[in-house]
Structure 1
Amino acid sequence: MYGEEELLPISALQHLLFCERRAALICLEGQWQDNIFTAEGGLLHEQTHQAETEHRGNLRLARGLWLRSLTLGLYGRADVIEFQLVGDAQPGMAIPLPDADGLWRPFPVEYKRGRLRSEESFEVQLCAQALCLEEMRGINIPAGALYYGKTRRRLEISFDRAIRERTKNAANRLHELVSAGITPPARPQAKCRSCSLVGVCLPAATSQRGDVKRYLKQATTTPEIAP
C-alpha cells in the first residue's frame, strides 16, 4: 500500500512504456515541452474534461472523474466513464449512482489523438484507470475503450489477466524509477523524432560517453568559408 504523498500520475505509465528516460525527465526533473502531437492531445483532453456530465437515456457520462489506487500508487483523471443502466447485473459488476434508480455498469473511455491503432502504452493507461475504479468501488470492470479523435472511432480493450499484469508491472517499475531518482541514459531510436522532449533529452548528444563534448563542439564551431 502506498500513502497519498507517494501517488504518481496514471499518465506517467504511458510515458514509461514509450521511454523510461522520458518518464524520468517528466517525473524527476519536471521537464515538459509541447509539440504538435502533445498540443493536439492536450486540447482534446481539455475539451473532454470541460464538458458537463451527460444523460443519454440508459447511459450516463461522467467526465474528468478523479481516480486513485493506493495498491498501485497511482492517481489521475478519467476522460470519460460511461455508466450503462443494466437489468440483471452480475454481482460486483454494477453500482448505484446518486439521484438515479437501478444499477449502472462503468466503462472507462480514454481519448487519444490520431488514428485507430493498437498501442500497448495507451491500453495500460486505460487499464490503470479501471483498476483504480475497481479499488475505489469494489467492483470488477471487464472492458473499456480508446477513442481516437482523428478517425472518431473507438477500440474496445478487454481487461484480461495479461493486460492487468502488464499494468501492475508498469506501475511497480514507475515507482522503482522515481524512488531511484536517477534519469536513465538516452538510447536513440527512430521514435525519438516524434518525442516532444527531444530538445531536452538530446539523445544524439548524450547517448554515449564523450558525445556531449563532440556535440557541443559541432554546435559551436563556425564552419570555414572557402575563399
Structure 2
Amino acid sequence: MVQQAQPPDPAAEDALVPLSALQHYLFCPRQCALIHVEQVWAEDGATAEGRLMHERVDSGRPDRRAGVRTVRGMVIRSLELGVAGKADAVEFHREGAESVPYPVEYKRGRPKAHRADEVQLCAQALCLEEMFGVPVPAGALFYGETRRRLAVDFTPELRRVTADAAHAVRAMLASGQTPAPHYTPACKQCSLQDLCVPRVVEKASHVGAWLARQIDASLGPE
C-alpha cells in the first residue's frame, strides 16, 4: 500500500516537488531518492539526448496552427498534488467557447512497459486543470525513436495512480531516507548504476544480516 503524506501548505511553494520525480519514482524509488534527496546525478548518452531534446522543445516560441495554439516550456504546478515543473508543450484546442489544454511530453526513446511516462503526463494534466479550471481529458507522449505520438486518456484509474505516486514521492522526500537497492534488469538502463552499485550494496546488506544472525546465535539466550 502506498504511504500517503498530508498535502503541503498551499502558501509554501517550496514544498512542491518536481514533476520529474514522479517518473523517477515509478522507474525506481531508490533512483528518485538518489536524485532528489542525495542530489546525485550522472549523465550518459541516453540522458544527454533526452536533455537536448527537452531544451530544443522548451526553447521554441508559441505558435498557432489550424486553430491550435501551442505554448512551449510552460511552468505549471498543483498545490493539491504538491508538484511543480515545466510542460514541454501545451496545445490549447478550441472547443466551443473554451480553450482546452492538451499536454504533450517529449521522450527520446520508445514506449515503455511501465506507466511512469503516462503518470508524468497525467500529473501535468492535473496541474493544468487546477490552473485553468477546465477538464483536461487527454494528452500525448511523443517518442523520439518512433517519431510518433502516443495518445493518452486520463482515466480515473490513471489519475488515482498519479495521485498515489505524488503522495508517495512527497512522503519519501520528507523522510530524507534513500531506499535500499534491489537489482533488476532495469538497472542496466539507469545512468546512476555506477553510483548506486545495486549489486554491491545489496550483497553487503545480505552479508551484514547474515553476520548479525551468526553473532546472535553464538551469544545464545541470555
1:61 to 43, 51, 70: 70
Matches within 5 A, 1:55-204: 55-87=64-96, 103-117=98-112, 119-204=114-199
Bigger drift between 203-212 and 38-47 goes to 203-212
Q: Deviations over 1:34-82 (max 9, x none)?
A: 1111111111100000110111130111000000011111000000001
Conserved? CA contact 2:100–2:134, under 8 Å:
no
The Cα of 1:204 is off from its aligned counterpart by 1.2
| TM-score normalized with structure 1 length | 0.84
Between the aligned partners of 1:175 and 1:210, the Cα distance in structure 2 is 26
Matched, 1:44 2:53: yes
Identity %: 45
Between the aligned partners of 2:180 and 2:62, the Cα distance in structure 1 is 44
Conserved? CA contact 2:103–2:139, under 8 Å:
yes
Between the aligned partners of 1:118 and 1:53, the Cα distance in structure 2 is 32
**AA at the equivalent of 1:27:** H
Relative distance call for 1:147 and 1:212 in structure 2 (3 A) is: farther
Q: Deviations over 1:98-117 (max 9, x none)?
A: xxxx5322100000112245
The runs of at least 4 consecutive aligned structure 1 residues that moved more than 2 Å come to 115-119, 208-213
**AA at the equivalent of 2:80:** T
Conserved? CA contact 1:205–1:211, under 8 Å:
no
Q: Which residue of 1 aligns with 2:201?
A: 206
Between the aligned partners of 2:111 and 2:13, the Cα distance in structure 1 is 35
Q: Which residue of 2 aligns with 1:16?
A: 25
The number of residues matched between the two structures is 199
Conserved? CA contact 1:206–1:212, under 8 Å:
no
RMSD between aligned alpha carbons? 1.6
Q: Which residue of 2 aligns with 1:6?
A: 15
The Cα of 1:28 is off from its aligned counterpart by 0.5
Conserved? CA contact 1:82–1:107, under 8 Å:
yes
The Cα of 1:137 is off from its aligned counterpart by 1.3
Relative distance call for 1:211 and 1:200 in structure 2 (3 A) is: farther
- What SS class does the counterpart of residue 208 from structure 1 fall into? helix
Contiguous gaps of at least 5 residues in structure 1: 88-101, 214-227
| TM-score normalized with structure 2 length | 0.85
